[in-house]
Structure 1
Amino acid sequence: MYSLNDVVEMKKAHPCGANSWKIIRMGADIKIECQNCGHIVMLARREFEKKMKKVVQKAPQD
């Protein structure tokens, strides 16, 4: 599963060429930020779960 501040890989790469995204907001919608260019995208949770491939890096636990 995924949580806030995890880095995830999506099925399709971003036009900038990167394929890793950081989850920066979670709720009914999920906001992700491209790790290469900093572009921010907001997706519905269902759409995000369909487009996400895998969790690349888990967020550090406090």
Structure 2
Amino acid sequence: MYQLGSFVEMKKPHACVIKSTGKKANKFEVIRLGADIKIRCSNCDHVVMMSRHDFERKMQQVLPSET
């Protein structure tokens, strides 16, 4: 399960990655939880806000923590 500060992998990569590096980096950090979820792209720091329902549908997996 995801929590505040977790890194998640989304089904589709963020548009910035295709233009700048050509890689499929779709890693996002969860920065707000509630009825809406706010995530930040780990490549360009762009913030995306979506409903919890949309987030759970578009999320592929929770990435293991790097500790």
Matches within 5 A, 1:1-62: 1-17=1-17, 18-58=25-65
Mark the runs of 5 or more structure 1 residues left unpaired by the alignment. none
Q: Select the structure that is richer in helix.
A: 2
Mark the runs of 5 or more structure 2 residues left unpaired by the alignment. 18-24
Task: State the TM-score, normalizing by the size of structure 2.
Answer: 0.83
Give 1 or 2 for the bigger CA radius of gyration: 2
Change (3 A) 1:37 1:48: same
* Sequence identity (%): 53
List structure 1 runs of 4+ shifted beyond 2 angstroms: 57-60
Task: State the TM-score, normalizing by the size of structure 1.
Answer: 0.89
Deviation at 1:59, TM superposition (A): 7.9
Aligned positions, number: 60
